[in-house]
Every structure is written in structure tokens, then in C-alpha cells.
Amino acid sequence: MIKVFDRFFGNSATTEEPCSSGSQNLEDAYAIIMRHVTAPPLRIDTHVDQDTFQRLLKRVETTWARLGQEDAHWSVITDDRFRKHSINGHIDDFFAMGEVDIARMEASLARAGVALSDIETAMDFGCGVGRLSIPLARKTGHVLGVDISAAHLQEAKANVENIGCRNVEFFKASSVADIRDLQKFDLVISLIVLQHNPPPVMLEILNALCARVKLGGYLYIQAQTYRSGYHYSVQEDLSDSSDKMEMHVLPQHLFLQTIQDNGLTILEVMEDGAAWSLDYRSQVVVAHKR
């Protein structure tokens, strides 16, 4: 099953090879595609008061500050090759994964008639250590990497200096107001970031990111939109004092509706398999502000 999953969602950015070899493969693929079609709705609290909102966001900041200090590259892609003690030998593999993600985005935008080389300004929201900012900077005029974690931003700056990339800057955003105060961009991209914030926070961030897209600009954004058994109760969440890496879901109707309510037209919704688990659904949306 996983082999088929890999062929659908795996590492090749450009493959056009159809999945047609053998009926067993096709049956497995069909089972994967159909796995959530009769799934029940998710119970999710989406609204909280301001104090609670700040508390939830502060917790995200504390967690990522810790992860950034302990093991920044591994916290971005949780593969043991990218642990602190082994990242030096695998840094090229780490950035190669970012190149693949940017190549996929480039292909999505090309299908919408846009060339990355025409993008003058891009924001990489939740940029981590620059895994996407660096390959994006090679193809666009200028990139602003934005993150809530100073420790990740420090690593990102070091990575940019090592590579000698000059058209990337970084900014620490600790609040949604910090995002809203930013300039507008031709392209806003955010991959594997929203999912680490509770749904009420995700929604506010998504609104703020949509508002930072210029008229005529594009949004390329990923969220986990389903997980079997997921629910979100603010009360339950606040009673959990651990600072583990949070994993949350934004149901697809809320994800798409929020983007549309901000005046963007959805051009593509693509399955992306970012969770590496068939329990989840993860999707990337390409949207345009006309």
C-alpha cells in the first residue's frame, strides 16, 4: 500500500508516469483515494476569546523556541538524518527536499499560467531554517522568511550565509498583528506550518496571510484537512500542559471558505501526503487574488 502511496504522493516533482501497472496496484490506489469519503464530520472549536487566543499562540511560540534550540532541522523534517549530530553530513538531502517542494509549487503555478521568475516578492510563512526560502529565492526576486521561533530564524540566517544567497531576509512574527503589519507580496507560501497551530489560531493566521497577498498575487498553502478521530476542544486543550509538537486539522470546508472569504479564487486543490500517514488528509491550495 505504501509503495502505491509513494507513487502518488512521493518524491518525484515532475513525474507524469500514470499509475497503471497491475490491477492490485490500482485496487490499492483506489482504496487510498477513497479512504475518507464516508468519514463523519469533525467536532472542532473554532472561536476563542482574545486572552485564550494569546495563550494558545504563546504556547506555539514556546514549543517551537524549544524545538529550535534542541534540534532545529529535525523539527522541520523529523527524519533522524537531520538530527543535530548528523545534519552536517545530510544538509544537501535536507535542502533537496525543499527543492522538490518548490518544483511542485512551480508546476502548480505554471498550470495556472504563472512563471516563478515573474514573482518579484514572496513571503515564506513559517520558514523554519530556510528549507523552502532558499530554493524559492533562487527563482524569485526577493523572499521574506517569517517565523515565530528566533532559534529557527538564527539557523535559517546561517544556512543562507553558507549558501551565499543574498535575496532573502527574515522576520520574527510573534503575533497575528505582526503578520498583518507586513507589506503585501506577489506570492505567499506556507507548507507544514498551519498544522502546528490550534484551529482558532490557524484560522486567524490564514486570514492574515490571505490579506498579505497583493492584488494579482498568489497563495500556495498547505493544511491537514482530515484525521480519523481528530477533534478539538479548547477546554481540553488548555488542560494539557505538555509542550510537545502540536498537530492539528482544519476541515477542508473551513480551509477553502476562509480563502474565498478573503477574496481569493481557488485554482487548485492538490493532495500532498505531507503527514506521511494514511490517517490524515493533507492538501495544498493554490489561490489567486484577482
**Smallest separation, CB 67 to ligand SAM (Å):** 7
**Smallest separation, CB 290 to ligand SAM (Å):** 26
> Other CB atoms closer than 10 Å to residue 62's CB: what's the count?
13
Please tell me whether residue 87 binds ligand SAM under the rule CB under 6 A. Answer: no
Which candidate, 68, 130, 143, 75, places its Cα nearest to that of 99? 130
Which candidate, 223, 228, 180, 173, places its Cα nearest to that of 198? 223
Among 159, 197, 224, 282, binds ligand SAM (CB under 6 A): 197
Tell me whether residue 196 or residue 289 sits nearer to ligand SAM (CB atom).
Answer: 196
Mode of pairing for the β-strands spanning 264-271 and 280-289:
antiparallel
Which candidate, 261, 250, 258, places its Cα nearest to that of 283? 250
Alpha helices in 39-195 (DSSP H): 50-76, 87-111, 133-139, 150-163, 176-180
Tell me whether residue 32 or residue 219 sits nearer to ligand SAM (CB atom).
Answer: 219
Residues 48 and 136: beta-carbon distance below 8 Å: no
Please tell me whether residue 60 binds ligand SAM under the rule CB under 6 A. Answer: yes
Tell me whether residue 193 or residue 285 sits nearer to ligand SAM (CB atom).
Answer: 193
Rounded (5°) CA angle 213-275-125: 25
Tell me whether residue 28 or residue 197 sits nearer to ligand SAM (CB atom).
Answer: 197
Rounded (5°) CA angle 9-10-16: 80
| Burial of 287 from C-beta contacts in 10 A (0-12 / 13-18 / 19+) | buried
Binding characters for ligand SAM, 152-191, by CB under 6 A (x = yes): x--------------------x-----------------x
Among 64, 170, 220, 232, binds ligand SAM (CB under 6 A): 64
Tell me whether residue 168 or residue 205 sits nearer to ligand SAM (CB atom).
Answer: 205
Among 44, 87, 132, 206, binds ligand SAM (CB under 6 A): 132
From the list 43-51, 121-129, 213-221, 255-263, the region that binds ligand SAM by CB under 6 A is 121-129
**Smallest separation, CB 149 to ligand SAM (Å):** 4
- 225: enclosing H helix or E strand: strand 213-227
User: Which residues of this protein are in contact with ligand SAM, per CB under 6 A?
Assistant: 60, 64, 76, 126-128, 131-132, 147-149, 152, 173, 191-193, 196-197, 205
